[in-house]
Amino acid sequence: MIIVLKPNITRRQENAVLKEIQKLGYEPHVMRGVARTVIGAIGDERTHASLETLTAWPQVESVMPVQKRYKLVSREAHPSSSTVKVSSNVILGARKFHVMAGPCSVESEKQLMATAKVVKQAGATVLRGGAFKPRTSPYEFQGLGEKGLKLLAKARQETGLPIVTELLSEQHVDLVAEYADILQIGTRNAQNFQLLIAAARTGKPVLLKRGLSMRIEEWLLAGEYILANENPNLIFCERGIRTFETYTRNTLDLSTIPIIKNESHCPIVIDPSQGCGRADLVMSLCKGAVAMGADGLLLEVHPNPAEAWSDGAQQLTFDHFTRLMREIKPFLAAAGRD
Amino acid sequence: MIIVLKPNITRRQENAVLKEIQKLGYEPHVMRGVARTVIGAIGDERTHASLETLTAWPQVESVMPVQKRYKLVSREAHPSSSTVKVSSNVILGARKFHVMAGPCSVESEKQLMATAKVVKQAGATVLRGGAFKPRTSPYEFQGLGEKGLKLLAKARQETGLPIVTELLSEQHVDLVAEYADILQIGTRNAQNFQLLIAAARTGKPVLLKRGLSMRIEEWLLAGEYILANENPNLIFCERGIRTFETYTRNTLDLSTIPIIKNESHCPIVIDPSQGCGRADLVMSLCKGAVAMGADGLLLEVHPNPAEAWSDGAQQLTFDHFTRLMREIKPFLAAAGRD
Amino acid sequence: MIIVLKPNITRRQENAVLKEIQKLGYEPHVMRGVARTVIGAIGDERTHASLETLTAWPQVESVMPVQKRYKLVSREAHPSSSTVKVSSNVILGARKFHVMAGPCSVESEKQLMATAKVVKQAGATVLRGGAFKPRTSPYEFQGLGEKGLKLLAKARQETGLPIVTELLSEQHVDLVAEYADILQIGTRNAQNFQLLIAAARTGKPVLLKRGLSMRIEEWLLAGEYILANENPNLIFCERGIRTFETYTRNTLDLSTIPIIKNESHCPIVIDPSQGCGRADLVMSLCKGAVAMGADGLLLEVHPNPAEAWSDGAQQLTFDHFTRLMREIKPFLAAAGRD
Amino acid sequence: MIIVLKPNITRRQENAVLKEIQKLGYEPHVMRGVARTVIGAIGDERTHASLETLTAWPQVESVMPVQKRYKLVSREAHPSSSTVKVSSNVILGARKFHVMAGPCSVESEKQLMATAKVVKQAGATVLRGGAFKPRTSPYEFQGLGEKGLKLLAKARQETGLPIVTELLSEQHVDLVAEYADILQIGTRNAQNFQLLIAAARTGKPVLLKRGLSMRIEEWLLAGEYILANENPNLIFCERGIRTFETYTRNTLDLSTIPIIKNESHCPIVIDPSQGCGRADLVMSLCKGAVAMGADGLLLEVHPNPAEAWSDGAQQLTFDHFTRLMREIKPFLAAAGRD
């Protein structure tokens, strides 16, 4: 930690800070600069009580951490890239690129089966579909629940595609883990730490969406909750952040691809459907994500988006999806992915 | 709903939209303007399938909802202001102003009792304190848990102050509800809808913090989850939103006071400690909140903020809190509050 | 400056950093911590070339400035509060509180004179009105220009109220300075540094609005452009920042009042009309601003807001304004202002 | 325009709205819905006085525009894509992709010539370099001014590369236009409308950066200022927006590529150097921009970024730039660009 003292304080005030630093288990190291005195507090910032509370002292101007707060998710701790094995064919973070596609919500057997077949045929390797839906309003469709999970399992049986579906309640952990191959943690629960811990403990791969206004450091720390609970199967998923822009529903932050690759060893997939909320932008965003080195895509596909029970504006038609799978191929090749 | 069509579409494309509108249970009403054709879809937007999915159609430019999505929390539904009774002395939303104060985290009996006595003496009417703490990093102090709740109960017994404490897991609902007089839903769980439902079902007053990047409409709808689950005892709590500014931890949005008063009948309290993250700004923000018509304040107070186990920078000392309680008095009088 | 080195770099890489630090005129000071090596670079950060460019070096993790970048606007440089004299009766930053009121745009003699008389009678001490208007679209009303300035001068003559009006072009500096008592720099020009310099050189008081997404440090530095060009007559004006919220046009950040008072010696006034964009919230925001210690208010008032040529939704009627002036009085008294 | 009335208003209040709509030149059209009455106001929203001021009326809940506010920049007005001719070899918006590269600031003849040669050799087709620099602090390097322009002209003579350089003052228009082939309007001046008009009138191509917190609609309208002043040579340039994220300096919004292509006929280039503020992310962002269909890139390159006089952290070394030009090639091919 670096503690910057205010100018014009007394020697006694300075000594009080030095004593507190020692009391909290650090070794202080004073540097007298031209305009400010700065104290370096030497010690492991993650094991000692935090010095940040010194900010509350009148003689302290600011306290700046030096160490990164995340450990297990960091590339520093694990220099080679990790892979997450979902099934024998689906290993995220390896050379093969993966497209996870399916409807926003599971609505009916007919809707799901039709979609599963089309996405498989077009080249998707994972089926997505929501059985429990977090909805802004209590009056909106909340998902088919267990019935939806059963339909997903049936679709998996018919197509061989593993399933990713959202877990949104600690009460559902056992139920959802019984059916899902990947547990998705949604943006609204990205800092629901009890849910993260419960998801981690299932041992299943966890796809952790970025929270609506989560800084990258916070996202990495939320991921740390998974690894610190002994589940190494973490997949980051960027899905857009909330900004002042209103043309799109969210602002998809594609710079997270190189950033997560720099800071962490875990794979990252991109969700452009949520990221922009408009089907007409999805194609272009997918090409960008591929070119920038994402490990996969998460896409919403629906037989008839205009009649979808949730988020119709951002779901792709079968034709659109099939064309998209074809059009991203040259970019996959350019990026050295299969 | 208002559906705006793109210019230069065919009559056939227009008819397809009209048919879909009817199919979804609305009565369409066409208006031909100078530059655009607009369709009004007449029907209750909350009971029919949403027309917003029409946005996905190529001939549709935009779909604009006309109705408000919240119902039970709205002042339209309940023109007079509601009050929430916490105890015989503490009725939020009435003429009497309430200060809820105490440490960010319950750390020890000594710390809590000392704080409880001081805040009571200075005029606080509710004791706050965290027993379960949501922490950005898994390596930070996570709260004393049930032991913390027991200490809060003891402090209530000694001082007579009812207790507000955070509920952050569905698994803890019974436990926390056994001890708490008000269940606090934190900013990271403000759209954890399962937790909202579970909290509502206890029947206890629920203090719902605004999410870090929640639009006011979303906050009202999260509140709707409480009322729709038959718990009328909802208190909104503004605690700052996330913006680009880095001087403060969050940007406290005091305009929520008149907005919530306009849109809803429920009380609103302000949390300036979280709102700015700096003790030196709290006094001024409290005066503003009082002047603008808040029903109460939620404040962090600690015997020695620099040694606090969480959020030291924003907690007030005993002296600072006592001075604050004295200094807000003339503003309470000016606002017509006791 | 504090330079944090990456872990696991060679001694040679470290030496290269030390050499560069010396070359740029600083004295390096090494601290070896548990997880990182940190170098303190001692020297005046404002007079030497910036070390921040070291961030580009592969062996450097981060570079953190220690000193504040603003000097003349800082309270450190000028511990007592400054006042800005506009006229014999209007001294901003002193005990007397000032309300600057008038129409968003000057539209006609009749509109302006009627408004000027009403606001004066209700207690305003400065007349505001836009003659040159920055408009988002080229097809919107751009102001009456010099004709508007002449009408403002006439209104000043009739009422005795000094005038604040916007300067939006270097080409207009002489013209606007000839008529105005305070030059207003609008939010879109808050970092138009050439305009700031030109405004400063007139010697007239400058009211500097906060940019739409300006950090407080940047706002202080924009103010520094005024003082560094030898004009001490700087008034800060908070007018709301751009956030994700759509209920209000902007989010008025009232916490700037105590922050500017902490960091700077210059006065601050609040513009709630722009700040929220809705007349129905202005009353409450004014009370908050008064209670929090603002030195004045800037308010839009129009004889018939619904027919205003710009920003009708946020302008107050005469009745509303008169009531507002009455209702803020007890809060002024509570704040110790006249 | 769509005017939504509040529920429970009197017929008289409704009639007043209808009369006002007619008075402002629109034809009103009433639709009575289940929960609200809605009035469609038929007429050209860009030529009549705006009805948005009706928001100020107590009986009006909201006013929603139907028409787009931009005209000349819209693809609706000009369905085929435009090209902007800078020189005989450089036509932006055509099949050929263009890289504009050079130092953030022109610092010396040696620095500029070395950079110009390297970027040309690596394949850049336009030379960038700042002669007038807008700087957050008055104590930072403000550019070499005319001397910098002369050096740019010399570099053009030696390499044949046309020049893009920033115009930041109306006072400099003639001077900068004399030297530059493309006038760059920076992010801080993106709504400095007088500067936009002055730049347009030179007839030179204008590269309009997106403002720090500009909505896309506002950016298009700022572009409209160029076209409405009879200069069709407009190039949009995305350079990152301000969000809550602090890992990067800005958040580069690559979704602007398909959005600008949808909404407008004008070319768009991407500035990833400013967009993220970190050289280590630039490579990946360039690949994304190419894949998503940008017409060009604007990149900062410096002989020794660590000693740059401005923005060292984001400038590329010669090696890095040369590698980048090589690595984007397969993505250009995949995108069908030369």
Rounded to a whole number of angstroms, the distance from the CA of C330 to the nearest CA of chain B is 5
Mutating which of C5, C9, C27, C31 best tests the A interface, going by the most A Cβ atoms within 10 A? C31
Nearest CA to D56 among B46, B309, C310?
C310
Q: Which of B3-7, B14-18, C30-34 has the lowest mean pLDDT?
A: C30-34
Mark residue B311 as left, alpha or beta (left: phi above 0; alpha: psi -120 to 50; beta: remaining): left
Question: What is the per-residue burial (b if ≥16 Cβ within 10 Å, else e) of A69-79?
Answer: bbbbbbbbebe
Do C42 and C92 lie in one domain? The reply is: no
Question: Per the structure block, which two tokens stand in for C65?
Answer: 């400035």
Amino acid in the structure at residue D328? I
When pLDDT is cut at 50, 70 and 90, the band that residue D57 belongs to is confident
Is the pLDDT assigned to residue A188 strictly greater than 90?
Answer: yes
Of A33, A66, A67, the CB nearest to C66: A33
In a domain, C77, yes or no: no
Do D58 and D88 lie in one domain? The reply is: no
Beta strand D2-5 pairing with A296-300: unpaired
Per-residue pLDDT, A48:
63
Is the pLDDT assigned to residue D321 strictly greater than 70?
Answer: yes
Of A248, A258, A334, the CB nearest to D281: A258
**Contacting residues for A220 by C-beta, under 8 A, at least 6 apart:** A70, A73, A74, A263, A264
Contacts of B45 in chain A (CB under 8 A): none
Of D248, D257, D330, the CB nearest to A334: D330
Question: Per the structure block, which two tokens stand in for B113?
Answer: 């009792």
Size of interface B-D (CB pairs under 8 A): 60
Is the pLDDT assigned to residue B47 strictly greater than 70?
Answer: no
Contacts of B290 in chain C (CB under 8 A): 291
The CATH number given to whatever domain includes residue B251 is 3.20.20.70
Quick: pLDDT tens for A96-108.
999 999 999 999 9
The total number of structural domains in chain A stands at: 2
Per-residue pLDDT, D35:
78
CA distances from A202 to A154, A162, A184, A206, A234 (A): 22, 17, 13, 9, 12
Rounded to a whole number of angstroms, the distance from the CA of C18 to the nearest CA of chain A is 16
SS3 state at A24: coil
> Is the CB of D306 less than 8 angstroms away from the CB of C56?
yes
Quick: pLDDT tens for A26-41.
889 898 887 788 898 8
User: What share of chain A has pLDDT > 70, as a percent?
Assistant: 99
Calculate Rg over the CA atoms of chain A: 23
Of C38, C40, C244, the CB nearest to A243: C244
Q: Residues C78-88: what's their mean pLDDT?
A: 96
Quick: pLDDT tens for D288-303.
999 999 999 999 999 9
Do B44 and B186 lie in one domain? The reply is: no
Of C138, C229, C278, the CB nearest to D224: C138
In a domain, B20, yes or no: yes
Rounded to a whole number of angstroms, the distance from the CA of C208 to the nearest CA of chain B is 18
> Is the CB of D288 less than 8 angstroms away from the CB of A284?
no
CA separation for the pair B141, B129 (Å, rounded): 14
> Is the CB of A215 less than 8 angstroms away from the CB of D247?
yes
Is the pLDDT assigned to residue A52 strictly greater than 90?
Answer: no
Is the pLDDT assigned to residue C82 strictly greater than 90?
Answer: yes
Do B146 and B226 lie in one domain? The reply is: yes
Contacts of D244 in chain A (CB under 8 A): 213, 215, 241
Mutating which of D2, D44, D213, D247 best tests the B interface, going by the most B Cβ atoms within 10 A? D2
Per-residue pLDDT, D268:
98
Higher pLDDT, A313 or C93: C93
Per-residue pLDDT, D48:
63
Beta strand C296-300 pairing with C98-102: parallel
Question: Per the structure block, which two tokens stand in for A6?
Answer: 């205010």
When pLDDT is cut at 50, 70 and 90, the band that residue C309 belongs to is confident
In a domain, B315, yes or no: yes
Do C38 and C9 lie in one domain? The reply is: yes
> Is the CB of D32 less than 8 angstroms away from the CB of B42?
yes
Per-residue pLDDT, A49:
67
Give partners of A (≥3 CB pairs < 8 A).
B, C, D
CB contact at 8 A, D305 and D293: no
H helix runs in C123-237, sequence order: 146-159, 173-179, 193-201, 216-228
When pLDDT is cut at 50, 70 and 90, the band that residue D251 belongs to is very high
Is the pLDDT assigned to residue A204 strictly greater than 80?
Answer: yes
Do A132 and A259 lie in one domain? The reply is: yes
Q: Residues C42-50: what's their mean pLDDT?
A: 73
Of A253, A276, A331, the CB nearest to D291: A331
> Is the CB of D66 less than 8 angstroms away from the CB of B29?
no
Beta strand A268-270 pairing with A296-300: parallel
In a domain, A9, yes or no: yes
Do A306 and A239 lie in one domain? The reply is: yes
Of C36, C44, C66, the CB nearest to A67: C36
Of A255, A283, A285, the CB nearest to D281: A255
> Is the CB of B137 less than 8 angstroms away from the CB of A306?
no
Per-residue pLDDT, C1:
82
CA separation for the pair A191, B186 (Å, rounded): 11
Is the pLDDT assigned to residue C52 strictly greater than 90?
Answer: no
> Is the CB of A291 less than 8 angstroms away from the CB of D288?
yes
Contacts of D65 in chain A (CB under 8 A): none
Do D46 and D194 lie in one domain? The reply is: no
When pLDDT is cut at 50, 70 and 90, the band that residue C31 belongs to is confident
Calculate Rg over the CA atoms of chain C: 23
SS3 state at B273: helix
CB atoms within 10 A of CB C158: 13
Calculate Rg over the CA atoms of chain B: 23
Per-residue pLDDT, C266:
98
The CATH number given to whatever domain includes residue C28 is 3.30.70.1140
Do A178 and A128 lie in one domain? The reply is: yes
Quick: pLDDT tens for B116-148.
999 999 999 999 999 999 999 998 889 999 999
In a domain, B78, yes or no: no
Per-residue pLDDT, D47:
65
Which run of H or of E encompasses C166?
Answer: strand C163-166
Higher pLDDT, B21 or C52: B21
> Is the CB of D259 less than 8 angstroms away from the CB of A243?
no
User: Residue B250's closest chain D neighbor by CA?
Assistant: D244
In a domain, D107, yes or no: yes
Give me the domain span that covers residue D127.
Answer: 84-334
Q: HSE of C145 in the Cβ direction (CA atoms, 13 Å)? A: 5
User: Residue A194's closest chain B neighbor by CA?
Assistant: B169
Per-residue pLDDT, B319:
96
In a domain, C71, yes or no: no
CB atoms within 10 A of CB B28: 17
Rounded to a whole number of angstroms, the distance from the CA of C51 to the nearest CA of chain A is 15
Last residue of a domain, one of B64, B99, B114: B64
Average pLDDT of chain B? 94
User: Residue C246's closest chain A neighbor by CA?
Assistant: A244
Q: Residues D130-150: what's their mean pLDDT?
A: 94
Q: Residues D27-37: what's their mean pLDDT?
A: 85
User: What share of chain A has pLDDT > 90, as a percent?
Assistant: 77
Per-residue pLDDT, D70:
92
Question: Per the structure block, which two tokens stand in for D36?
Answer: 């609200």
Q: Kindly report the length of chain C.
A: 338
Per-residue pLDDT, A191:
97
When pLDDT is cut at 50, 70 and 90, the band that residue A312 belongs to is confident
SS3 state at C159: helix
Of B33, B35, B244, the CB nearest to D244: B244
What are the residues facing C235 on neighbouring strands? C207
Q: Residues C105-115: what's their mean pLDDT?
A: 97
When pLDDT is cut at 50, 70 and 90, the band that residue A47 belongs to is low
Size of interface A-D (CB pairs under 8 A): 121
Beta strand C206-209 pairing with C182-185: parallel
Contacts of B335 in chain C (CB under 8 A): 287, 331
> Is the CB of C134 less than 8 angstroms away from the CB of D193?
yes
Do C19 and C94 lie in one domain? The reply is: no
> Is the CB of D246 less than 8 angstroms away from the CB of A215?
yes
Say if the ipTM goes beyond 0.90. Answer: yes
Nearest CA to D140 among D104, D100, D173?
D104
Q: Residues D24-44: what's their mean pLDDT?
A: 86
Q: HSE of B249 in the Cβ direction (CA atoms, 13 Å)? A: 20
Q: Residues B77-96: what's their mean pLDDT?
A: 96
Rounded to a whole number of angstroms, the distance from the CA of A36 to the nearest CA of chain C is 7
In a domain, A267, yes or no: yes
Which run of H or of E encompasses D206?
Answer: strand D206-209
Do D60 and D102 lie in one domain? The reply is: no
> Is the CB of B56 less than 8 angstroms away from the CB of A279?
yes
Contacts of A213 in chain C (CB under 8 A): 244
Per-residue pLDDT, C49:
67
CA separation for the pair C123, D236 (Å, rounded): 48
**Chain-centre distance for alpha carbon D24:** 34
Tokens 């890095």 identify what position? D320
Do B311 and B170 lie in one domain? The reply is: yes
Rounded to a whole number of angstroms, the distance from the CA of A323 to the nearest CA of chain B is 17
Per-residue pLDDT, C47:
65
SS (H, E, C) B108-135: CHHHHHHHHHHHHHHCCCEEECECCCCC
CA separation for the pair C158, B60 (Å, rounded): 55
Quick: pLDDT tens for C206-265.
999 999 999 999 999 999 999 999 999 999 999 999 999 999 999 999 999 999 999 999
